[in-house]
């Protein structure tokens, strides 16, 4: 059974068919990679899923409920979180306060919104602990290294208590050692959270994903396991460079 499902999604910008009839499904507890050449429609597609861009036609379902016309914030409340390609932290706030803001916008935010400081503190600590930033809680977010800022962004996503977490280029700019740690972090999130990850680093995609969807010119070129994608001649020609 699909946790997140899209059927026939379309989004054109003038004559550009950014997303052109895309079908997609994400299973509970799955890490799913989304790859494709530059301009293939990846970011537009996840923006449709998250509600940042309206769908022109097609349908989106989260755990069987249609969310096609819901706002981005309403989808967050339903359990769908999207971290951006460019770090979306608040550099002038502390690490703690960045995550606290996310907690208060999340799916289980009632206690925090009623001023329950203990519940808020526990939720922030849990999110920071997941990404290894618990000792940076008092530091200003803008003072973190780039790699730690990316981890803070993930912590903010996790603080929303998502059922689905969409990561857009999460390893961009990370050092090799940080990438290995990030892959371990992603795998640690399942099965509680299903992850959809746009990623250009093929070692990350092949090592972390259970399945991979390949977009090309706004359509699905192929979908399958990492081994199947490596062996797919069309994928090799369009993206893997073979």
Residue 29: partners with Cβ closer than 8 Å, 6 or more residues away:
190, 191, 192, 193, 194
Only one residue has tokens 């192929």, namely 222
Beta strands in 169-231 (DSSP E): 194-198, 211-216, 219-224
What kind of fold does domain 1-79+162-242 have according to CATH? Rossmann fold (3.40.50)
Q: For residue 135, name the pLDDT band (cuts at 50, 70, 90).
A: very high
Q: Answer for the pair 151, 171: CB distance below 8 angstroms, yes or no.
A: no
Backbone φ and ψ of 210, nearest 5°: -80, -40
Whether 112 shows a pLDDT value over 70: the answer reads no
The pTM is what? 0.89
Q: For residue 241, name the pLDDT band (cuts at 50, 70, 90).
A: low
Q: What does the pLDDT look like over 161-212, one tens digit per residue?
A: 899 999 988 888 788 888 888 888 888 888 899 999 998 888 899 999 999 9
Residues linked to residue 79 through DSSP beta bridges, in sequence order: none
Q: What does the pLDDT look like over 54-69, one tens digit per residue?
A: 999 999 999 999 999 9
Sketch the domain layout of the chain as residue ranges: 1-79+162-242, 86-158
Q: Work out the average pLDDT over 130-154.
A: 91
Quote the longest CA-to-CA distance of the chain. 57
Whether 74 shows a pLDDT value over 80: the answer reads yes
Q: What does the pLDDT look like over 19-46, one tens digit per residue?
A: 999 999 999 999 999 999 888 999 999 9
**What pLDDT sits at residue 147?**
84
> Which is more confidently placed, 11 or 118?
11
């Amino acid at each position: 059974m699909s946790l997140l499902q899209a059927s026939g999604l379309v989004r054109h910008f003038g004559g550009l068919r950014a997303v052109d009839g895309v079908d997609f499904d994400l299973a509970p507890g799955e890490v799913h990679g989304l790859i494709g050449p530059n301009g293939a429609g990846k970011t537009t597609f996840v923006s449709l899923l998250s509600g940042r861009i309206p769908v022109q036609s097609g349908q989106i379902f989260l755990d069987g409920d249609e969310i096609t016309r819901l706002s981005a914030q309403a989808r967050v409340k339903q359990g769908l979180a999207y971290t951006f390609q460019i770090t979306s932290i608040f550099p002038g706030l502390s690490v703690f306060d960045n995550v606290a803001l996310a907690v208060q916008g999340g799916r289980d935010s009632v206690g925090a919104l009623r001023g329950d400081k203990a519940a808020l503190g526990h939720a922030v600590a849990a999110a920071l602990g997941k990404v290894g930033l618990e000792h940076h809680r008092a530091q200003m977010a803008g003072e973190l290294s780039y790699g730690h800022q990316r981890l803070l962004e993930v912590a903010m996503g996790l603080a929303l208590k998502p059922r689905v977490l969409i990561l857009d280029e999460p390893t961009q700019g990370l050092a090799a050692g940080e990438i290995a740690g990030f892959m371990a972090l992603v795998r640690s999130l399942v099965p509680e959270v299903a992850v959809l990850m746009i990623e250009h680093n093929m070692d990350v995609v092949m090592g972390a994903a259970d399945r991979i969807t390949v977009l090309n010119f706004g359509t699905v070129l192929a979908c399958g396991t990492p081994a199947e994608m490596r062996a797919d001649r069309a994928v090799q020609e369009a993206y893997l460079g073979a």
